[in-house]
Structure 1
Amino acid sequence: MEIRKGLGLQALPSMTLLRELTDQIVLDTVFEQAPVTRAEIAQHTGISKTTVSEAVRRLEAAGLLLPAGEQRGRQGRVGTYYKVAPTAGFVVAVDLNPTQIRVCAADLFGQPFLESSHVPVRPREPALVAGQLRDLVGQAVAEGAPGHGRPLAVAVSVANPVDPVTSRVVTLPDTPYPEGLFQPQEALDGTVDAPVLVENDVNLAALAERWHGAARTADSFAYVYVGAGMGMGLVIGDQLIRGARGVAGEIGYLSVSTQPPGPRHGRHGFARAVAAAGFHPPREPGSDQVAIDVARQIFDRASKGDAEARAVVEQEGRTIGEAIAAVCAVVDPELVLLGGPIGLHPALLEPVRATVQDLAPLTPAIEVGTLGDTAVLRGALALALRRARADLWAGAGRRPYEAPGRVAQ
Structure 2
Amino acid sequence: MEIRKGLGLQALPSMTLLRELTDQIVLDTVFELAPITRAEIAQHTGISKTTVSEAVRRLEAAGLLLPAGEQRGRQGRAGTYYKVAPSAGFVVAVDLNPTLIRVCAADLFGRPFLEAAHAPVRPREPVRVAEQLRGLVADAITAGVPGHGKPLAVAVSVANPVDPATSRVVVLDDTPYPEGLFQPQEALGGLADVPILVENDVNLAAVAERWHGAARTAASFAYVYVGTGMGMGLVIGDQLIRGARGVAGEIGYLSVSAQPPGPRHGRHGLARAVAAGFPPHRERGGDQVGVEAARQVFDRAATGDAEAGRIVEREGRVIGEAIAAVCAVVDPELVLLGGPIGLHPALLEPVRAAVHDLAPLTPPIEVGTLGDAAVVHGALALALRRARTDLWAGAGRSSA
User: Normalization by structure 1: what TM-score?
Assistant: 0.92
SS, match of residue 115 in structure 2: strand
2:222–2:334 CA contact under 8 A, matched in 1: yes
Give, in angstroms, the shift of residue 20 of structure 1.
1.9
Give, in angstroms, the shift of residue 350 of structure 1.
1.5
Code of the aligned partner of 1:132: Q
Q: 1:35 to 1:287 in 2, by over 3 A?
A: farther
Code of the aligned partner of 1:227: G
Specify every segment of 5 or more residues in structure 1 that has no aligned partner in the other structure, as ranges: 400-409
Q: 1:176-255 residue pairs with structure 2 within 5 A? A: 176-255=176-255
What is aligned with 1:324?
Answer: 323
1:163–1:245 CA contact under 8 A, matched in 2: yes
The separation in 1 between residues aligned to 2:303 and 2:196, in whole angstroms, is 47
SS, match of residue 32 in structure 1: helix
Q: 1:15 to 1:354 in 2, by over 3 A?
A: same
1:160–1:170 CA contact under 8 A, matched in 2: yes
What is aligned with 1:403?
Answer: none
Q: 1:10-409 residue pairs with structure 2 within 5 A? A: 12-278=12-278, 281=281, 291-398=290-397
Q: Which runs of 4+ in 1 moved over 6 A?
A: 1-9
The separation in 1 between residues aligned to 2:156 and 2:34, in whole angstroms, is 28
Code of the aligned partner of 1:258: A
Q: 1:5 to 1:125 in 2, by over 3 A?
A: closer
1:110-163 deviation line (CA, Å, top 9, x unaligned):
111110011011110111111111111111111111111111110000000111
Q: Which moved more, 1:307-316 or 1:121-130?
A: 307-316
Give, in angstroms, the shift of residue 225 of structure 1.
0.3
Give, in angstroms, the shift of residue 11 of structure 1.
5.5
SS, match of residue 94 in structure 1: strand
Percent identity, aligned pairs only, is: 84
Q: Which moved more, 1:350-359 or 1:128-137?
A: 350-359
Code of the aligned partner of 2:140: A
Specify every segment of 5 or more residues in structure 2 that has no aligned partner in the other structure, as ranges: none
Q: 1:363 to 1:8 in 2, by over 3 A?
A: farther
Give, in angstroms, the shift of residue 309 of structure 1.
1.3
Give, in angstroms, the shift of residue 283 of structure 1.
9.8
The separation in 1 between residues aligned to 2:68 and 2:287, in whole angstroms, is 52
Give, in angstroms, the shift of residue 10 of structure 1.
5.8
The separation in 1 between residues aligned to 2:149 and 2:159, in whole angstroms, is 30
2:20–2:393 CA contact under 8 A, matched in 1: no
Q: 1:57 to 1:159 in 2, by over 3 A?
A: same
Code of the aligned partner of 1:321: G
SS, match of residue 249 in structure 1: coil
Give, in angstroms, the shift of residue 63 of structure 1.
2.4
The separation in 2 between residues aligned to 1:298 and 1:74, in whole angstroms, is 64
Give, in angstroms, the shift of residue 75 of structure 1.
2.8
1:234–1:241 CA contact under 8 A, matched in 2: yes
Code of the aligned partner of 2:157: S
The separation in 1 between residues aligned to 2:385 and 2:280, in whole angstroms, is 37
2:65–2:85 CA contact under 8 A, matched in 1: yes
Give, in angstroms, the shift of residue 315 of structure 1.
1.2
The separation in 2 between residues aligned to 1:36 and 1:109, in whole angstroms, is 15
SS, match of residue 86 in structure 2: coil
Instruction: Please report the RMSD computed on the Cα atoms of aligned residues, expressed in angstroms.
Output: 2.1
SS, match of residue 350 in structure 1: helix
Code of the aligned partner of 2:232: M
The separation in 2 between residues aligned to 1:394 and 1:20, in whole angstroms, is 6
2:35–2:82 CA contact under 8 A, matched in 1: yes
What is aligned with 1:404?
Answer: none
1:273-327 deviation line (CA, Å, top 9, x unaligned):
111222762698x996x62111221222112111111111111111111000111
1:75-94 deviation line (CA, Å, top 9, x unaligned):
33211111122111111000
1:279–1:295 CA contact under 8 A, matched in 2: no
2:87–2:148 CA contact under 8 A, matched in 1: yes
2:218–2:333 CA contact under 8 A, matched in 1: yes
2:20–2:392 CA contact under 8 A, matched in 1: no
Q: 1:282 to 1:119 in 2, by over 3 A?
A: farther
Q: Which moved more, 1:60-69 or 1:27-36?
A: 60-69
User: Normalization by structure 2: what TM-score?
Assistant: 0.94
SS, match of residue 258 in structure 2: coil
2:275–2:287 CA contact under 8 A, matched in 1: no
2:90–2:107 CA contact under 8 A, matched in 1: yes
The separation in 1 between residues aligned to 2:194 and 2:279, in whole angstroms, is 41
The separation in 2 between residues aligned to 1:387 and 1:368, in whole angstroms, is 29
Q: How many residues align?
A: 397
The separation in 2 between residues aligned to 1:283 and 1:353, in whole angstroms, is 29
Code of the aligned partner of 1:340: G
The separation in 2 between residues aligned to 1:9 and 1:225, in whole angstroms, is 50
The separation in 1 between residues aligned to 2:279 and 2:320, in whole angstroms, is 16
